[in-house]
Structure 1
């Protein structure tokens, strides 16, 4: 007999999203297994970011259903407010990173720690663990976040999402514009998060990262999911890569 723990952590069924007069998502269907990294791939404009924002309730799904941990959180007549979705254990790292440039690294993390009034209220063990993932954050603890490098800002944006335990991370193109060494640091951090049974839905254009991290993959095109399956199978099938993405992963190593 299957249990809730055997079910996907996140499930989208027939999700349609409109932004103003534009119909962006056209019946999106895919699942995110617990404790795994699911890659959401596709050409620019395919609907990946809209999918993440719809899951978070930032743009409501007009049709279909979104279930998280067995409970409805989105869909026609059922979309929860974004703060409530976050309280249920979902964190969103947007492509824009969402950090506060005038505040210090310390202040950014304190704002993200909902249960903490001062930095002393943050779990010390967890904070030290974050510093092992992203040592630069400890070094620049009191520096304004706006003065960090692009890679350090991305580290801070992820750290904000995990300063408290989360069941699911939605992360939008974390490697965009980063140097290869910083990308490798990100890959290591996400592997460590996966080791702690944190589930990740990751939008990414860097196929080295996708291949290194992905357990499963959903490929989008024109607001629909056109392929679902193991990431390893897509990574090994250049003909399928060309058909779905218009390029080869091997050309992006």
Structure 2
């Protein structure tokens, strides 16, 4: 499998804390890779390091063969975004004082005005997240938590991206919204969009994941097929401390 993203021996320090301890990870093109692990394993730090928000102190991060992270890389976070990587942080990162419309326009690199947005793609997004259409002209800060999460995901997919990094998108969402989110990501998967997804929702992980990487203590300790992990209760218990079947 061709890897669109590769991390080799990545270490990340945040202040005095050594968070990542030599992460090795390959994300195959056109597939959904689940990044799983207990709380504090280093999953969010891995995504933020890929995005250049935290600097890798050792090792390398390569996207489409080009170095974007590591001591010798000069790419900034805007450079990484322009290269085709979109990031949906756990905190959502929306602009609360701007309207839904303005948030979407900021995320669309090819559009300066609403008329320049890809209308077919926008309608496709509204099909999964109808609240965004309803509250198009509302300040984003007045949306509910679930609606803000919809907006965070919608901004990342307003234009086709080469790679999506998504951190815990279903956290705190109502089941109906989670189902819409799963359907949206499943459609992106059918279109062969490459996704690296951190997610604690077992149903979502099993439904969407092609590959899986499990982290513990700042390292990737297991890689393989998501279906194989889902079928091996003993491995789940050892790696994650839970049974996916029991949480389905």
Aligning the two structures, in what range does the TM-score lie when normalised by the shorter sequence? over 0.9
Greater than 4 Å deviation, 4+ residue runs: none
1:2-50, CA deviations, whole angstroms, 9 ceiling, x for partnerless residues? Answer: xxxx521111111111111111000101111111100000000000000
- Determine whether 1:47 maps to 2:42: yes
TM normalised by structure 1 equals 0.95
1:62-112, CA deviations, whole angstroms, 9 ceiling, x for partnerless residues? Answer: 111111112111112114100000000000000000111222111110111
- Determine whether 1:81 maps to 2:95: no
1:203 aligns with: 198
CA distance in structure 1 between the partners assigned to 2:72 and 2:66 by the alignment: 14
1:191-234, CA deviations, whole angstroms, 9 ceiling, x for partnerless residues? Answer: 01112221100001111110111000000000000000000011
Aligned counterpart for 2:61 among listed residues 31, 56, 66: 66
Please state whether the residue corresponding to 1:64 is helix, strand or coil.
strand
Please state whether the residue corresponding to 1:249 is helix, strand or coil.
coil
Aligned counterpart for 1:215 among listed residues 210, 213, 219: 210
Structure 1 residue 145: Cα displacement: 1.4
Aligned counterpart for 1:12 among listed residues 7, 28, 31: 7
- Determine whether 1:102 maps to 2:100: no
1:147 aligns with: 142
Q: Could you tell me whether the CA contact under 8 Å between 1:66 and 1:74 is conserved in 2?
A: yes
Aligned counterpart for 2:232 among listed residues 216, 233, 237: 237
CA distance in structure 2 between the partners assigned to 1:209 and 1:128 by the alignment: 24
CA distance 1:225–1:30, shift in 2 (3 Å): same
- Determine whether 1:192 maps to 2:197: no
Q: Could you tell me whether the CA contact under 8 Å between 1:12 and 1:29 is conserved in 2?
A: yes
CA distance in structure 2 between the partners assigned to 1:142 and 1:252 by the alignment: 39
1:37 aligns with: 32
Which stretches in structure 1 are left out of the alignment for 5+ residues? 1-5
Q: Could you tell me whether the CA contact under 8 Å between 1:57 and 1:79 is conserved in 2?
A: no
Structure 1 residue 133: Cα displacement: 2.5
Question: How much is the aligned-residue C-alpha RMSD, in angstroms?
Answer: 1.1
CA distance in structure 2 between the partners assigned to 1:229 and 1:149 by the alignment: 37
TM normalised by structure 2 equals 0.97
Bigger CA drift: 212-221 or 98-107?
Answer: 98-107
1:3 aligns with: none
CA distance in structure 2 between the partners assigned to 1:177 and 1:79 by the alignment: 36
Please state whether the residue corresponding to 2:187 is helix, strand or coil.
helix
1:130-141 matches, within 5 Å, as 130-141=125-136
CA distance in structure 2 between the partners assigned to 1:209 and 1:38 by the alignment: 12
CA distance in structure 2 between the partners assigned to 1:34 and 1:87 by the alignment: 18
CA distance in structure 2 between the partners assigned to 1:114 and 1:30 by the alignment: 29
Q: Could you tell me whether the CA contact under 8 Å between 1:61 and 1:75 is conserved in 2?
A: yes
Bigger CA drift: 21-30 or 135-144?
Answer: 135-144
Bigger CA drift: 179-188 or 110-119?
Answer: 110-119
